Amino acid sequence: MTTTSGHLPPSSPISFESLPTPVGRARLGRLVTPHGTVDTPQFMPVGTQATVKSLTPGDLRAAGTQIILGNTYHLSLRPGHERIARLGGLHRFMGWDGPILTDSGGFQVFSLGHLGRVDDDGVTFASHLDGSPHRLTPELAVEIQEALGSDIAMALDELVDPGRPPDEVEAAMRRTHAWAERCLAARARPDQALFGIVQGGVDPALRRESVAAIAALPFDGIAIGGLSVGESKAEMAATLDVVAEALDGDGRVRYLMGVGSPADFFTAVERGVDLFDCVLPTRVARNGQVWTDAGRMNLRNARFLDDGGPIDDDCACEACRNHSRAYLAHLFRADELLAYRLASVHNVTYTLGLMRRIRSGLADGTYASLRDVVTEQHRSNRRETDKPPVTDR
RNA sequence: GGGUAGGUUGAGCAGGUGGUGAGCUCCGCUGACUGUAGAUCAGCCGUCUUUCGACUGUGGGGGUUCGAUUCCCUCCCUGCCCA
């Protein structure tokens, strides 16, 4: 059995082994963390505030969840990472004993940009809760994540819209590199892994430079950031090609942050991505949209009011086993809380089931047909050209 | 029976004391959502029209007037008070 492991720091609290497959750069792997093992490619449901919205840890287990994501920024503001530490850490606090990866707050630099100010030392935010000022630096991001006790922490990074002027994209990338080194220097917990994040927008030269800088550091894993933030599908694929090529021979686990949609999984898996996280499955579920191999459907649409069938005939989740589309359509119209939970149960089950089918497809050669069926039905309703570049922040 | 307050586009309202009433919130219809300030947001929501725009609509009927949602008469309906 050939593995591509290596490059991991000798004292890494995680281990990762992977096998190449016949499909592009896709690989099958196994990530072992202090709280459990993760089969890759794998998807992490997002639980920003110590909860995957509307789902219990039991729901997550039933859906096949192996690892979830929590958030430094939100949890440090409320309830506070010191409090979570006093209460036994994030796993115990939220009742999830499986692996947890925490995001560093870097994305909030981007999404809450107008509430904050970035300088070389760190970020100053106005809290979205009460407007009070808060400071986040690479050292603080590590300190907070160590207090939370996640299995995997993320380095603090800065991402900008790829449509910004090149000098801004480059400046954010250089800041990310400097912060990466400071995060590594600030680590104090040997039982927590730390991933570095590659930036550089959609510029191939900057991406290569960023991969070189981040991959040279003793991180336990490599994340690809700054994508799925407004660039086209073609730009995302091309950028993933550049990153994969530059990472060739690096055996560490690779995590594409903020992706995605069913179609995007295939694009990224074929380019060597092992881990994903995204709010999409749970967010669209709360807004009435559920996914199946036949595509997307909005259960708020009138045509489902008399539809007595399940969301998905092929799904064994609680929603599909026990309830009809008509029932869900009713619950959404009546603003009943169960609608959010059942739709989320289904979408997480579908997404994790899709990842499982991707893994088995890679193993038994049926990957291509799976990709063709799913991507055909899950093409974005929006044409590429409909999405204008974001120019303000 | 007497008095009083009302009757506005599916619902609930706003407005309008003689000079072009389509404004709001629900409901309804559709779309969006990618490291979660999101159980959110956007568009549409009288008729015709792709749009521009045109037309209709203030309980019914009648009257005054160049012109009535507004003033007058009458009828109908609803709430409340008194008999």
Give the Cα separation of A108 and A125 in Å (integer): 9
Q: Work out the pLDDT band at A3, boundaries 50, 70, 90.
A: low
Name the region of A238 (left: φ>0; alpha: ψ -120 to 50; beta: rest).
alpha
Bridge partner list, A259 = A277
Q: Work out the pLDDT band at A249, boundaries 50, 70, 90.
A: very high
Q: Which residue has the higher pLDDT, A57 or A4?
A: A57
CA A305 to C1' B76, whole Å: 40
Catalytic positions of A, please? 103, 277
CA A347 to C1' B24, whole Å: 37
Asked if the model's pLDDT at residue A383 lies above 70, the reply is no
DSSP-based three-state secondary structure for A55: coil
Q: What is the pLDDT of residue A382?
A: 46
Residue A195 CA to its chain's centroid (Å):
13
A276-280, A344-348, A357-361, A387-391: least confident range: A387-391
pLDDT digits (tens, 9 = 90+) for A348-359: 999 999 999 999
pTM summary value: 0.93
Give the Cα separation of A201 and A64 in Å (integer): 33
Q: Are A349 and A334 in contact (CB under 8 A)?
A: no
Q: Is the CB of A159 under 7 A from strand B?
A: yes
Q: What is the pLDDT of residue A391?
A: 31
How much of chain A, in percent, has pLDDT values that exceed 90?
87
Edge-to-edge strands, sheet with A152-154: A42-45, A275-278, A253-256, A221-224, A193-198, A152-154, A100-103, A68-71
- Where do the H-state alpha helices sit in A270-385? 280-286, 318-322, 325-333, 337-364, 367-377
Asked if the model's pLDDT at residue A215 lies above 50, the reply is yes
Nearest nucleotide from residue A233 CA, by C1' atom: B34
Asked if the model's pLDDT at residue A386 lies above 70, the reply is no
Q: Alpha carbon of A38 to those of A8, A208, A285, A327, A362: distances in Å?
A: 17, 28, 24, 35, 16
Surface-to-core class of residue A128, CB atoms within 10 Å of its CB (0-12 exposed, 13-18 middle, 19+ buried)? middle
pLDDT digits (tens, 9 = 90+) for A186-195: 999 999 999 9
User: In this structure, how many other beta carbons lie within 10 angstroms of the beta carbon of residue A352?
Assistant: 20
Q: Work out the pLDDT band at A112, boundaries 50, 70, 90.
A: confident
Q: What is the pLDDT of residue A108?
A: 86
Which of chain A's residues 5-44 bind strand B, using a 7 Å CB cutoff?
A: none
Q: Is the CB of A111 under 7 A from strand B?
A: yes
The predicted model gives A307-326 an average pLDDT of 98
Give the Cα separation of A198 and A165 in Å (integer): 18
Asked if the model's pLDDT at residue A388 lies above 60, the reply is no
Nearest protein residue to nucleotide B33, judged by CA and C1' positions:
A284
Q: Is the CB of A157 under 7 A from strand B?
A: yes
Mean pLDDT of chain A: 93
Look-up of token digits 């295939």: A266
pLDDT digits (tens, 9 = 90+) for A279-311: 999 999 999 999 999 999 999 999 999 999 999
Q: Is the CB of A112 under 7 A from strand B?
A: yes
Give the Cα separation of A241 and A246 in Å (integer): 9
Q: Are A153 and A144 in contact (CB under 8 A)?
A: no
Give the Cα separation of A50 and A315 in Å (integer): 27
Q: Work out the pLDDT band at A110, boundaries 50, 70, 90.
A: confident
- Which of A215, A201, A277 is closest to A252 using CA atoms? A215
Q: Is the CB of A264 under 7 A from strand B?
A: yes
CA A283 to C1' B62, whole Å: 61
A239-253, A278-292, A376-390: least confident range: A376-390
Give the Cα separation of A68 and A46 in Å (integer): 6
Give the Cα separation of A315 and A348 in Å (integer): 11
pLDDT digits (tens, 9 = 90+) for A152-205: 999 999 999 998 999 999 999 999 999 999 999 999 999 999 999 999 999 999
Q: Are A210 and A199 in contact (CB under 8 A)?
A: yes
